[in-house]
Structure 1
Amino acid sequence: MKFSWKLLNKFVDLKNIELTYLKEKLTLCGIEIEEIKENTKTKDKLIYLNNTANRKELYCIINLAKEISIILDLPLKINPINLNGNLKDNKNYTQNIKISKTFLYLKLNLISNIKKNESPEWLINYLKTYDIKTNNLFSDIENYVQIKWGYKIKILNTINIKKQFIDLNITNLQQNLLLIDILNNKNLKNQKKLFNNNNCKILLFYVNKNNNNKLDYSCTEYLQNAYNETINIISTYTKGTIGKSNQKWKTTDKIEHTIKIHKNKIFNVLGILKNRPFKFLSTASILNTLNKLHFHSKYIKRLETFKVIIPIYRIHDLKREIDIVEEIGRIYGFKYFLKNLPSNKKKKSIHSSLSTIRKIRFLLRNLGLNEVVNCSLINKIKPISLKNPITKEQKSLRNNVLENLIENYRYNIKHKNFRIEIFEIGKIFEKDSQNQYIENNNLAGLIYNNSFIRNKWSDKPQSINWFHVKGIIEALLEQLNAEVTLQKLSQYENNKYIKNTSHLFHPIKQIGMYNRLNKELIGTFGELNIKYNINLKNNNKKIYIFEIHIEKLNHTRKINRNLNFNIKKYSHYPSVIRDISIKVKQHTNINDIKKFIFNRNKKLVESIEIFNEYYEKSSYSRFIGLRITYRSNYRTLNNKDIKMINTNIEDLINELKTD
């Protein structure tokens, strides 16, 4: 849309307003100015607006001038002439005449004795600004009135007038009524002779039908102003005689649209003011802003509610409470409100299982594992099959997560990636004894890395082993504060989750994770069954897997509300460390060995650590490397103590050999 700077100044005084300031203000209020061009020939400036669909009323100079006067808080130079009185005083006011299929209001005059038909220079310049070629005075007036006032007018020739009425969708009956009104004008004599005369014209003002199919007087707010200016231009530059006006209209009650909005709604959306910390927009300021917008507003103190009556020309875009809030912020100025969101110090509680899942993700990522996500639908026959699967590859619901991780492992091996340290937290599905479907979250992991660690920088990297993976799991459980014990699986274990994954683990090299309090099995850790290791050239490389029931793991977590640590005096005396290698039976439990050593010398044994395990293939013997730390809390160990320690170690090795 294009708007003339000179025409805008006809309605509102903008002489002291810079264009850059106006552009900034309009943009902040939702009216975007694309560009401003200066016409040196007409000495005028043309403002190009990017008009949005919700502000379709900004199509003429007067409506834009009204908006600018509101935004800049400047008075309009021209006040609307009240048309209601003119209509009510007319004797035909109550007839409610249906004048046309297209129009709701018609006003016409007969113009006779036209002596000139040339447009003045100022009018030509205005139209040049809009790139409109001038033709004659009457067509120029039509364009000028539409640009400035937004009303369409027609100045018709009296020659073949009936055809021109038909072009305007005026029926024969309505034509006759209009022509009779013109001919009955007592101010002119011999009016019939004026028809079919080039020196006679008919001036026709009209208002189109709106969505309500009824005339509302707000549509004709500046109609009388536009009509008066048109008559003045015609009479001045044509030197013609203008007959008495005749009007036809369809009356209706005034249309109003009311929106009620609570004061807190305005406060919650706009927030607090910048210059007044912890202060909201006052009631008086809100009412003042609404009055600037020409909204008839009232504050109901008892309900703390504003009752806002929307003018007819803004009904199309102001329909909800939020629209009113936006108008208040737009006119008052969004920059005066604090733009930062208020900090919400109230933390919503989350389910403990969700907290556990988040913690697991964080810890395993820090431990070097990568998270993967797989679909819960698989291409295998499982207890829960879909009746109407989308594809054959997704026909069942999985009952464990490990099988998907094994597929990930095979894919990585195929693409020559030999460092696979992955985990997944996903859903599994089961049926209970009553044939009801159960959905649970499980944590599963798969670790394979043939270059995991080296003892020295010069050594070749070694593969990850059982103790490394066990240490990762123990670190996870420790950080979760989970009271879980890793121990040998019971021979009579009948847990359904174990049955779902038992075929994936090595028959012997696996251990269970048990709740320390109720001894309930919550997961399994061990080596991958050799038959799933088919993609590796060297099957001696071990792959370690684990799967844990998250809900049961969550029950083992101990949330420390306060400190419950035991205070123990720290020994200031040096320690004596002995590394020993013990030959044990193949299935000897290491916890039994630790208990045996502690019971032999409780006072001096401070700690026992396992630092190695190895097998002698020739004799099929198993050896465990132990590091025993001796220390006294009260004195330095002397030669007698050292000798006794050495004797105890020899006795210990001999006793364990006999076992």
Structure 2
Amino acid sequence: MKFSRKSLNELINIKHIQINTLASKLTLAGFEVEEIIYVDYMNDYVINIDIIANRQDIACVIGLAEELSIILDIPLKDPISQTYSRNYDKNAYQQYLLNTFHNSKSILNIAIQHIKNIQVFKLPLWLKNYLIIHEIKPSETILDIIHYIHIKWGQDIHILDYESITQEPFNVKLINSIQLNKVNSLQSINKTVQTELLQYNKKTISNNGYSINNKYTYKSLSSSIIVLSTILDPIYIDNNIKNKTSTKHLKYINRNYFMKAYREAIQLITQFTSSKAQIEYSYHRKQLKRIINIPKNLIYNILGPLNNQSRAYTPIHIIFNILLQLRFQPQYKNNIFTVIVPLHRHEDIQRPIDIIEEIGRIYGFNKFIDNLPAKNQQGYINDSTQNIQKIRKIFRDIGLHEIKNYSLQKYSNDKHIGLHNPLAQDQSHLKTSLLHNLIQAKEYNIKHRNKNIEGFEIGNIFYKEDNKSFRETTNIGGILGNTNFARQSWSNSVHALTWFQAKGTIEELFDRLKLKSSIEWVSITQNNYAINSYYNLNIYHQKRSALLYNKFTKEHLGIFGELTKKLHNKLNIHHKTYIFEMNINALSQTIRKYSHLRYIIKPYSCYPSVTRDISIRLKFDLNIDYIKKSISKNNSRLIESIEIFNEYEKIIHSKKEKYIGIRITYRAQNRTLNDKDIINIDNQINNIIHDYL
């Protein structure tokens, strides 16, 4: 934003300061001076300053003048505190405004005044030059005055044509504020927000924070006008629809200057239009003070010693005087500074560290030692980061691509956490799962003829817990599916990835992380354990998915399964697609670090084993895990292991049947099994299998 040196000098005496020195002071105080321009025909300098987002309070001449007053420790000139001529009333009419806006969610300040008998004259040269130097072309007297007030005070003034509203005498008791439910169309969601309307005689003159009713805006031939100005609550703006007009109220304008800006506007309008101002009505809502305590030692620890021979710390009286310069109303007691944050600094001053930064900024960061403190202790990589690095390497070694996505997505349901001011509709909410973007990545690659893409992503997800507090966790998600996965022999054609082969990829991860024995796979349809609420089970095939749990604590770790038929058809591919998502923090806690004292020595049997390969025709809704447990339970001493080695399907009499191949190993620890033992086990297994057919 561009500022004229002469306009600043009207508010603070900076004539004796060179323009380059002034720019250097602003730069050291944290404001970037982009350029300095000399305007020859006005004999004035223009300083172009890049205003940062959290210091919008200086986006006006008075704001910058007050900041210069703090930086240079020069008082503002007396004219700033002068009382402009006004005609106001403190009777029952003022009480009416108090009653009307006391419960308003939007209005912090409001001023309204009727001016009549307007005769427009030419604008004075000084005011024209003021606008020109700030790159505004003069046009019409009253509008130019409004522009001048906005540049100088940062305050918006609205002019209404009173005759188009009513022909009756102005009556403040006809002003009313009503609430209106409105659909938030910016984020394309079914969410209603409450906005407030300002009405006069039941006619809406303003939609608070958004726009003035065009039917009643000022016209060049208007002889009777209403001058309206408001400051709205930033919380109201944040919780409602935001546009170019409403976001102006997020600048945290200095409310102490609200009436001065308004009254100067009234004074200039009446002076240059020979008009007569009627009674002024205003309302000012009190806001709670923000009080912050800062221990002296915290200031010393953050800023460090001074860059001088003594290497002493900043004296307490200097810190106290700086806080006075900052208008923080400081008190010092028991080695603690207590300050009250000015209202216009509530946006950027919220914590003790913010106060300390202000102290260093005003005193000068160049006066402190800029060496980093000595660090004797060597840093280390924590377990969680090491596990993430291991997981990333394992999946890359397996052959998966690592995929990176934004942490934002479009609205899907009420569990998503929305942003107050999204840049785009498809980036309006924090994501609650990694799988949504992974499926989109798969779909994108398929459209570009890369059908066999398989990948994983490690990232953060965000969700609401009990609809109150927000949580953030680090998850790993993946998508698997490949038409050219393997072939049984060179003469056979390749076949697609099966459910068990995809599951083997996950087990490979568990095996390398040394937690395979700690994981329990549980069917979704037959689960008795707790499930984390942020997992979306609707995208998984209910009969071809499994929940993953810590076998010892029963903590939910994640989920693995086949994509639903609906989503699979949307991808338009001929092979099955499998997805998984797991909480890395929970996985890290599952990894058990063994020492040599914890190992259990189990003697290896010296007697021969007997192996049985059995093919079982399985019902589609039956879990093979139950059969395995039943077999082990009845012959736990003689059965050494049960492993699944194959899965296939047969079509018999036009009916598809599912078969599972399992390998059972018999072995005794103290003797060789005889025929009777083997026949006994075979019969028991046959009976168990027969019960499940």
Classify the TM-score, shorter chain: 0.3 to 0.5
TM-score where L is the length of structure 2: 0.45
Whichever of the two has the greater Rg, that structure is 1
TM-score (norm 1): 0.47
